[in-house]
Amino acid sequence: MMASQNPETETPVTNPDIKKRQHWLSVLAKSPLKPIEKVWAEYRGFVHYELIRPPEIGLAMVQARTGGTGSPFNLGEITVTRAAANIQETTGFGFIRGRNKRQAELMAVFDALLQREATEGELITKLIKPLDRALKAAADERSAKVAATKVEFFTMVRGEAE
């Protein structure tokens, strides 16, 4: 995972709290809703939150680079959903690709809970680590499938004409 860049100074963000939060937000954004809902079922009766920004769907422009390193260009728009929740003076944010309002809302709630010392450790163990392992396993499976179809080409040289 790359450290985020500060656009004004172009220096990596090194604060460990920021890196931790970036990690759990990334995991929550990339994970399917079902396991997130399963953990939420344990907290539903105990956690009371206020939506600062109810889930809303919008568009974001996706930029790409030719060959991964060339000049940036606008590739197209992607649907995104965002939400913000407040739990006892702690604000959490959810920003996901796609149109799943429920997932954006739960992401915001869990972001707020993960920022609180009282619930951070438990949620890292119950939610973030299992989701992270599942994401890594899915990525490994995709890589194995791709590797199985890899074709290596080589050129045979004919005898040199004299």
> What confidence tens digit (pLDDT) does each residue in 117-127 have?
999 999 999 99
Instruction: Write the CA distances from 32 to 98, 132, 151, 161, integer angstroms.
Output: 12, 11, 32, 62
- What confidence score (pLDDT) does residue 121 get? 94
CB distance 111 to 29 below 8 Å:
no
* Of 105, 2, 124, 130, residue with least CA distance to 54: 105
Instruction: Please report how the helices 101-114 and 16-30 are oriented relative to each other, as an axis angle in degrees rounded to 10.
Output: 150
pLDDT digits (tens, 9 = 90+) for 137-149: 999 999 988 888 8
Task: Kindly state the tokens that stand for 43.
Answer: 């907290």
Instruction: Write the CA distances from 88 to 12, 47, 49, 61, 105, integer angstroms.
Output: 31, 10, 8, 34, 16
CB 110: neighbour CB atoms within 10 A?
A: 27
pLDDT digits (tens, 9 = 90+) for 64-101: 998 888 899 999 999 999 999 999 999 999 999 999 99
Residues 6+ apart with CB under 8 A from 95: 25, 29, 80, 81, 82, 104, 107
CB distance 101 to 118 below 8 Å:
no
User: pLDDT class for 13, splitting at 50, 70, 90?
Assistant: low
